[in-house]
Structure 1
Amino acid sequence: MDILFFCFGFITVMYAGFLLHLFSGIAKLRTFAPKNTTPTTGFSIVIPIRNEAKNLPALLQSIAQLKYPPELFEVIIIDDFSTDQSERIYLNWRLTHSPFDTTFLENVRRTGSPKKDAIARALPILKHPWVITTDGDCILPENWLHTFHDFIQETKKEMVVGPVILKTKNNWFHDFQQLETLALQGTTMGSFGNHQGFMCNGANFAYTKAFFTELGGFDGLNQYAGGDDVLLLQKALQQQPQKVGYLKSAAATVETRAIDDLFEVLQQRIRWAAKSTGYSNSYAKGLAVVVLLMNLSWGTALLLAFNHKVPWAFVASIWAVKYAADFILMYRANNLLRGGKFFLPLASSVVYPFFSSVTGICALFGGFRWKGRAFRR
Structure 2
Amino acid sequence: MQLLIIFLIVITISYVALISALLFGWKRVEKFELKEVAPLNKFSIIIPFRNEAENLPDLLYSLSNLDYPRSYFEIILVNDESEDNSVQACFHFKQSHPDLVFSIINNKRNTNSPKKDAITTALASSRFEYILTTDADCIVPLKWLQAYNERIIETQASLIAGPVSFLNGRSIKEKFLNYLVAFQGLDFMSLQAVGIGAFGLKIPFMCNAANMCYKKEAFLKAEGYCGNSNISGGDDVFLLEKFTELNYPVTFLKSQAAIVKTKPQPSLETLFSQRIRWAAKAPAYKSDFAKLIGAIVLLMNLSLIFTIILVLIEVIHYQFLLFSFALKFTADLSLLYVSANFFGKKLVLSHYLWSSLLYPFFSTTVAIASLFAGFQWKGRSFKK
Return the TM-score normalized by structure 1.
0.97
Q: Secondary structure at the match of 1:103?
A: strand
Q: 1:301 aligns with which of 277, 283, 307?
A: 307
Provide the aligned length of Structure 1 versus Structure 2.
Answer: 376
Residue 296 of structure 1 aligns with an amino acid whose one-letter code is: L
Say whether the 8 Å CA contact 2:59–2:137 is kept in structure 1.
Answer: yes
Q: Does 1:182 align with 2:182?
A: no
Equivalents in 1 of 2:80, 2:313: separation in Å? 50
Partner of 2:39: 39
Equivalents in 2 of 1:42, 1:271: separation in Å? 32
Partner of 1:330: 336
Per-residue CA distance 1:159-218 (angstroms, 9 max, x = gap)? 100011111434211110011111111111111111111100000011011010111111
Partner of 1:69: 69
**CA pair 260-68 structure 1, distance change in 2 beyond 3 A:** same
Residue 55 of structure 2 aligns with an amino acid whose one-letter code is: N
Per-residue CA distance 1:41-66 (angstroms, 9 max, x = gap)? 11000001111111111111110111
Within-5 A mapping of 1:20-31:
20-31=20-31
- Identity over the aligned pairs, expressed in percent? 39
Q: Does 1:349 align with 2:350?
A: no
Partner of 1:263: 269
Partner of 1:165: 165
Equivalents in 2 of 1:167, 1:24: separation in Å? 27
Say whether the 8 Å CA contact 2:182–2:348 is kept in structure 1.
Answer: no
Q: Does 1:14 align with 2:14?
A: yes
Per-residue CA distance 1:129-178 (angstroms, 9 max, x = gap)? 11000001101010000000001011111110001111143421111001
**CA pair 168-314 structure 1, distance change in 2 beyond 3 A:** farther
**Runs ≥4 residues deviating over 3 A:** 339-342
Residue 302 of structure 1 aligns with an amino acid whose one-letter code is: I
Q: Secondary structure at the match of 1:207?
A: strand
More divergent stretch after superposition (304-313 vs 336-345) = 336-345
Q: Does 1:375 align with 2:350?
A: no
Residue 202 of structure 1 aligns with an amino acid whose one-letter code is: A
Within-5 A mapping of 1:148-163:
148-163=148-163
Per-residue CA distance 1:59-84 (angstroms, 9 max, x = gap)? 11110111011111111111111111
Equivalents in 1 of 2:278, 2:370: separation in Å? 8
Equivalents in 2 of 1:189, 1:82: separation in Å? 34
Equivalents in 2 of 1:307, 1:50: separation in Å? 50
Say whether the 8 Å CA contact 1:59–1:136 is kept in structure 2.
Answer: yes
Partner of 1:223: 230
Partner of 2:175: none
Equivalents in 1 of 2:306, 2:167: separation in Å? 33
Residue 349 of structure 1 aligns with an amino acid whose one-letter code is: S
Residue 346 of structure 1 aligns with an amino acid whose one-letter code is: L
Within-5 A mapping of 1:41-120:
41-120=41-120
Superposition deviation, residue 308 in structure 1: 2.1
Partner of 1:249: 255
Say whether the 8 Å CA contact 1:335–1:341 is kept in structure 2.
Answer: no
Superposition deviation, residue 310 in structure 1: 2.5
Equivalents in 2 of 1:230, 1:368: separation in Å? 19
Partner of 2:174: none
Q: Secondary structure at the match of 1:302?
A: helix
Equivalents in 2 of 1:373, 1:161: separation in Å? 28
Per-residue CA distance 1:249-275 (angstroms, 9 max, x = gap)? 111111010111111100100111112
**CA pair 341-153 structure 1, distance change in 2 beyond 3 A:** farther
Equivalents in 1 of 2:290, 2:348: separation in Å? 30
Equivalents in 1 of 2:168, 2:315: separation in Å? 40
Superposition deviation, residue 95 in structure 1: 1.7
Equivalents in 2 of 1:255, 1:281: separation in Å? 28
Say whether the 8 Å CA contact 1:168–1:175 is kept in structure 2.
Answer: no
**CA pair 372-254 structure 1, distance change in 2 beyond 3 A:** same
Superposition deviation, residue 342 in structure 1: 5.3
Equivalents in 1 of 2:207, 2:86: separation in Å? 26
Per-residue CA distance 1:236-261 (angstroms, 9 max, x = gap)? 111114x1111111111110101111
Say whether the 8 Å CA contact 1:46–1:132 is kept in structure 2.
Answer: yes
Q: Secondary structure at the match of 1:25?
A: helix
Equivalents in 1 of 2:168, 2:381: separation in Å? 27
Equivalents in 2 of 1:57, 1:290: separation in Å? 41
